[in-house]
Amino acid sequence: MRSAREAILADLRPVRRLGRPGERALVACGAAGVVLAVVPAWLGVRSDLRQMSGWLVWGAYLLQVVYASLLIVAALRDAVPGRQRPRESTVLFAGGIAIVLTITAVTWLGHPTSLREGTWGTSWRTCFTTPVILGLPPLLLTLYLIGRAYPLRPALVGAVAGLGAGLLVDASWRTYCPVTDPVHILTSHLAAVLVLSMAGAAIAFAQARVTRRG
C-alpha cells in the first residue's frame, strides 16, 4: 500500500475540476451550432422548401437537433466515473437511429422526391462525404471533452457522441438535400451518421488506451 501512496504524494498538486456535463455540452453544441449555420449559409436551402409543410422540415430539424444535443450531454455524463448509465445510453443510441428512420418515413410519405436517373453516384458522394467531413469538428471537440474526463466505457461513450454529432449534421443537411427517397437517405445520410458514430467509438477507445498507458 505504501508505494502507490508515496507515488501520489510525490505528484500531489491542485487540479482544475471538470465542469458539469451540461456546461461542457454547451461548448460542443456551440461548435455544432456553427456547423448547423454553415450548411444553409454556404450551400443554401433545398429548392422545394416552400412546397413542404413547415412541420415536416423544421419539426424534424428541431427534433433531431434536440435529440443530438441530448446524446452529447449523455456521452459527456457517461465519461465521468460513477455517473455512467450504459443501459440508458444504449437506449438513447437506439432511439437516435429510430428517429432518423421515422423522419425518413414521414418525409417520404409527406413529400416523396426521388433522385434523377444517373445521378446516384454523385448524390451519394455529396450526401455521404460532406456530412462526414462537417461532422468531424463537433465530434472531435466532443471527444476532446470526453478525453478530459475519464470514460470507463470509451467505445460506448464515443459511439453515442458520434451519433450525436452525426444527427446534428444530418438535421442541417436535410434542409439542403431535397431527396426524401428512403434508399438515398439510408445509404448516404444514415450511413454518414453511422460512420461518424463508429469513428467516435474507435477514436475514444484509442484515446483511452493511450492516455491510460501513462
**Residue 126 near other proteins by CB under 8 A:** yes
Nearest distance in Å: CB 119, other proteins? 6
Distance CA 41, CA 37 (A): 6
**Residue 119 near other proteins by CB under 8 A:** yes
Q: Which of 55, 122, 144, 183 binds other proteins (CB under 8 A)?
A: 122
Spacing of C-alpha 18 from chain mean position: 22
Which residue type is seen at 191?
Answer: A
**Residue 103 near other proteins by CB under 8 A:** no
**Choice between 98 and 111, CB closer to other proteins:** 111
| Residue 117 CB neighbour total at 10 angstroms | 6
Of residues 64, 80, 74, 206, the one with CA closest to residue 135: 64
Give me the phi and psi of 165, to 5 degrees please: -65, -40
H or E element that contains 210: helix 191-211
**Residue 50 near other proteins by CB under 8 A:** no
**Residue 116 near other proteins by CB under 8 A:** yes
**Residue 3 near other proteins by CB under 8 A:** yes
**Choice between 98 and 119, CB closer to other proteins:** 119
**Choice between 147 and 164, CB closer to other proteins:** 147
C-alpha cell at 128: 455521404
Q: Which of residues 54-83 bind other proteins (CB under 8 A)?
A: 79-83
Give Cβ neighbours of residue 35 (< 8 Å, ≥ 6 apart). 134, 135, 137, 138, 168, 169, 172
**Choice between 85 and 98, CB closer to other proteins:** 85
**Residue 185 near other proteins by CB under 8 A:** no
CB burial of residue 164 (10 Å; 0-12, 13-18, 19+): buried
Give the footprint of other proteins on this chain (CB under 8 A).
Answer: 1-18, 20, 43, 46-48, 51, 79-86, 112-116, 119, 122-123, 125-127, 129-130, 133, 149-150, 152, 176-181, 184, 212-214
